[in-house]
Amino acid sequence: MPTVPISNLTLKILTGVFIYLVFQLNFFSVWQAGFGWKVALTDAGINLLLQLLTARVIRNIFRFYQPKVSQFWAVIGACAIFAILLVIGAKFLLVLAVPGNAGYAGFVDRSTGIRIGFSILLFCCLVILNLIWNMLRRERENNDRRHETERLSREAELFKLRQQLQPHFLFNSLNSISSMVVSEPKEARKMIEQLSTFLRTTINRKDGEMVTLSEELEQVERYLTIEKLRFGHRLQTLIVAADDCRENRLPPLLLQPVVENAIKFGLYDTLGEVLISIRATCIDNELLITVNNPFDPDTSSRKKGTGFGLSGLQRRLYLLFGRQDLLDTETSNNQFITSIRIPQAYVQGNTDR
Amino acid sequence: MYKAILIDDEPLASNMVKEYLDEYKEIEVVAVCRDGFDGVKAIQQYKPDLLFLDIQMPKINGFEMLELIEQPPAVIFTTAFDEHAIKAFELHATDYLLKPFSQERFDKAMHRFLSQVRPGAEQSADGQAKNAGQTQALLETAALSPEQADRIVIRDNSNIRIIQVPDIIYIEAADDYTRIVTASGVWLKNKTMASFEKQLPPQTFVRIHRSTIVNVTHITQLHPHDKENYTALLKNGVKLTVSKTGYAKLREVLGMR
């Protein structure tokens, strides 16, 4: 909502009216002084031209220059000096424009003071109008930017939600359950429970709160249990975590996308059995988690680069810890290895927040 | 009796289709496959009338597998693909089933299939031709999807090969086939020049002649051949004929004004 209570158009009209009023005043003053309408018109006309020119110059200057509050009086002062110079210049022009009229020349001389006064008044008003004008424009730009930012963050939010819910995984799991309902009702019920707990945990986890390694691994395990049911014997998993690391903390759902990636490339890039292994150790106040999955260098490495869709994770780690070196990927013997390091000192300090 | 093959990388998903198919005595499930590679083999072996085909599968997806089949049978897609993505294919397939689906929905798809193939409902040969046309259009649409746009799946004898698009040097028409030339070999594919032209990125692949599409990064020289045509010399020494319109397209892509 604009805090300046007038619109751009109002400002333009105001400027026009202002200049016209000064012109009218100028004309009638000279006329009243007894110099005939021709001289009065010349006088007022020349002044009008100079004023319009000045208005234009002011507009152009303030289009790019926004004075600070402390410079306000300096700007008004500069404006006044400019007004005085312009009147002196106008004086010469006026005398030239009405040649051979000593009475008029004297009148111009005598009225210099009042002309300067009006000139200053006019220019100061123009400057102030321009400043308001600029404020309006900036406010409009800020508004646009804010709307754009809001839109982007809304989209990001939606994207995150979709990512969390992973429709493809969800629908395929439901399909598997549907298939088991008749043949293996007990298994089906177990799977529904697993899926529900997985979804509940995913939805409930907040971005800011750290979770323990045990909690995160439990969640990953639920996910893998469902995937194993879906893919049968093709998928084997191994989770190894050192006991003394289990209370280490990490951001929630950090491991999830890595494991999903491992499954995706492991299962969809190769044929036959696939072993996904997750190992967690802690050294030097750092929690190190590595995820291994097989992949086919011929079909995947070049296409997806080394990123493997992990740039989102890299970004998240950077936002959380301010470091770019926490995510590492390497390939050896058709194995893709993702390593994540979570600095524990930082995490501990942050959990109290 | 109609023969059906189920292709899905998830055993439970195939089980469900099999269970739903129990009611159809006229359908015999001759094979259940876990990926497109096995699928191709089974289709060659059994010449089925109907396929239940998952889209997301290991190595090559359902569409790419279909490309490798000479005369694809009727296809019912079974997929968890999100709905708007599959909408583009709706017109071309016999039907598509979004997982998880009910027996009722499944019956509808079967009804569609049966009314297409049952004698009397429609001329059988006509139905076949219609089917082939549908599948062709479907595959052309699928080839444009981002997942598939940067690779081409080909079959040479019993081997299936995945060619990365940047590896292609040029493609030329060869009777009913197209010949794909790469540094590692020459492959034939049953796909039209026009659909290759649509699939391949236009900033690298230019159709320089009615029967040639070239990867412009492989061109080293271009010179006039006769009044109408030009010759493009490739890095590997091959010379290709460039038609007048092809030359104009090349100039545009290479930024020669």
Q: Do residue A128 and residue A35 come from a single domain?
A: yes
Q: Cβ of A159 under 8 Å from any chain B Cβ?
A: no
- Any CB–CB contact under 8 A between A271 and chain B? yes
Chain A residues whose CB is inside 8 A of the B34 CB are 234
> What's the rounded mean pLDDT across residues B204-229?
91
Residues of B in contact with A177 (CB under 8 A): 100
pLDDT of the residue at A305: 43
8 A C-beta contact, residue A222 and residue A198: yes
Domain extents for chain B? 2-148, 163-254
B2-148 against B163-254: fold identical: no
pLDDT at B92: 63
Is B151 touching A (CB cutoff 8 A)? yes
pLDDT digits (tens, 9 = 90+) for A28-65: 888 888 888 888 888 888 888 888 888 888 888 877 77
Contact (CB, 8 A) for B229 and B216: no
Q: Is B10 on the interface with A (CB under 8 A)?
A: yes
B34 in A contact zone (CB under 8 Å) = yes
Where b means 16+ CB within 10 Å and e means fewer, A202-231 reads: beebeeeebbebebbbbbbbbbbbbbebbb
Q: What is the mean pLDDT of chain B?
A: 86
| Pairwise CB contact (< 8 Å): A175 & B15 | no
Class of domain B2-148: alpha beta
Which residue range(s) make up the domain with A339?
Answer: 167-351
Decide yes or no: CATH 3.90.1260.10 for domain B163-254.
Answer: no
pLDDT (0 to 100) of residue A353 = 38
pLDDT tens digits along A102-127: 788 888 888 888 888 888 888 888 88
- Residue B80: list chain A partners with CB under 8 A: 167-168, 171-172, 175
A87 and A118 in a common domain: yes
- Which residues of chain A are within 8 Å of residue B57 when distances are taken between CB atoms? 268
Same domain, A341 and A254: yes
Can you give the CATH number for the domain in which A201 is found?
A: 3.30.565.10
Token digits of residue A266 = 């492991």
Averaged pLDDT, A187-208 = 87
Query: What would the pLDDT profile of A124-151 be if each residue is shown by its tens digit?
Result: 888 888 888 888 888 888 888 888 877 7
SS (H, E, C) chain B: CEEEEEECCCHHHHHHHHHHHCCCCCEEEEEEECCHHHHHHHHHHHCCCEEEECCCCCCCCHHHHHHCCCCCCEEEEEECCCHHHHHCCCCCCCEEEECCCCHHHHHHHHHHHHHHHCCCCCCHHHHHHHHHHHHHHHHHHHCCCHHHHCEEEEEECCEEEEEEHHHEEEEEEECCEEEEEECCEEEEECCCHHHHHHHCCCCCEEEEECCEEEEHHHEEEEEECCCCCEEEEECCCCEEEECHHHHHHHHHHHCCC
Residues A141 and A261 in one domain: no
Q: State which of A146, A180, A201 marks the end of a domain.
A: A146
pLDDT (tens digit, 9 = 90+) per residue, A84-97?
888 888 888 888 88
Cα(B149)–Cα(B63) distance, integer angstroms: 12
Q: With CB atoms and an 8 Å threshold, state whether B10 touches A268.
A: no
**Could you say which of A167, A168, A179 has the minimum Cβ distance to residue B12?**
A179
Same domain, A321 and A216: yes
Whether A190 and A337 share a structural domain: yes
Average pLDDT over residues A219-245: 92
| Residue the block writes with tokens 């800011």 | A208
Q: Encode pLDDT of A276-314 as tens digits.
A: 999 999 988 899 999 999 988 776 544 444 444 677 778
Residue A245 corresponds to which tokens in the numbers above? 């690391």
**Beta carbons within 10 angstroms of residue A193's beta carbon:** 11
Q: Do B59 and A299 touch (CB under 8 A)?
A: yes
pLDDT for A172 beyond 50: yes
Phi and psi torsions of A2, nearest 5°: -70, 135
In this structure, the number of other CB atoms found within 10 A of the CB of residue A346 comes to: 16
Q: Do residues A180 and A313 share a domain?
A: yes
- The pLDDT assigned to B257 comes to 59
- Chain A CB contacts of B37 under 8 Å are 271
| Number of domains, chain A | 2
Contact criterion met (CB below 8 Å) for B203 and B166: no
| Domain presence at residue A158 | no
Q: Each residue of B64-123: pLDDT tens digit?
A: 898 888 888 888 989 887 665 566 565 567 788 889 999 999 999 999 899 888 776 554
DSSP-based three-state secondary structure for A282: strand
* Percent above pLDDT 70 for chain B: 88
- Both A250 and A136 in a single domain? no
- For residues B210-214, give the mean pLDDT: 94
The pLDDT tens digits of the residues spanning A262-274 come to: 988 888 888 889 9
Q: Identify whether A160 is part of a domain.
A: no
Indicate whether A13 and A50 sit together in one domain. yes
**Residue B80: which of A168, A232, A303 has the nearest Cβ?**
A168
Nearest to B10 among A230, A299, A302 (CB): A230
A171 with A91, same domain: the answer is no
In a domain, A156, yes or no: no
Q: Are residues A248 and A323 in the same domain?
A: yes
Q: Are B10 and B100 in contact (CB under 8 A)?
A: no
Query: What chain A residue is nearest to B58 in terms of C-alpha separation?
Result: A268
Say if residue A109 is exposed, middle or buried (CB neighbours under 10 Å; 0-12, 13-18, 19+): exposed
**Contact list, B104 vs chain A (CB under 8 Å):** none
What pLDDT shows up at residue A301? Answer: 46
Give the distance, in angstroms, between the CA of residue B191 and the centroid of all CA atoms in the same chain. 8
Q: CA nearest A264 in B: which residue?
A: B58
Mind listing the pLDDT tens digit for each residue in B231-246? 999 999 999 999 999 9
> What's the confidence (pLDDT) of residue A315?
76
* CA terminus-to-terminus distance, chain B: 64
Whole-model pTM over 0.80: no
